[in-house]
């Protein structure tokens, strides 16, 4: 499993979608927030509500790309029919 950090000295580095190498890549909350176009606080709320799967590494919260994709698919499948 890969943990992406552009710079070893900065833990607040925001990853872009181009930085995501494969589905086993672990993403931080700012990277997931950027992918979903929502705030970091909303990401943590989704974790608290257990709506998006996450991995805890000590105090850190990380996300597998495949779990983010699964959350997106879940949202698409549960959109109300506007017809």
Q: What is the pLDDT of residues 13-48, one digit of tens each?
A: 555 656 665 667 899 999 999 999 999 999 999 999
pTM: 0.69
pLDDT band at 7 (very low <50, low <70, confident <90, very high): very low
C-alpha to C-alpha distance for 30 and 34, rounded to whole angstroms: 6
- Summarised one tens digit per residue, pLDDT across range 43-55 is 999 999 999 999 9
Assign residue 80 a region (left: φ > 0; alpha: ψ between -120 and 50; beta: otherwise).
Answer: beta
* CB atoms closer than 10 angstroms to residue 61: 17
pLDDT band at 8 (very low <50, low <70, confident <90, very high): very low
């Amino acid at each position: 499993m890969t943990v992406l950090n552009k710079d070893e000295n900065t833990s607040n580095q925001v990853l872009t979608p181009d930085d995501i190498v494969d589905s086993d890549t672990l993403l931080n909350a700012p990277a997931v927030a950027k992918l979903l176009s929502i705030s970091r606080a909303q990401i943590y709320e989704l974790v608290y509500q257990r709506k998006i799967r996450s991995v805890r590494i000590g105090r850190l919260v990380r996300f597998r790309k495949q779990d983010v994709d699964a959350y997106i698919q879940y949202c698409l499948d549960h959109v109300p029919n506007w017809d």
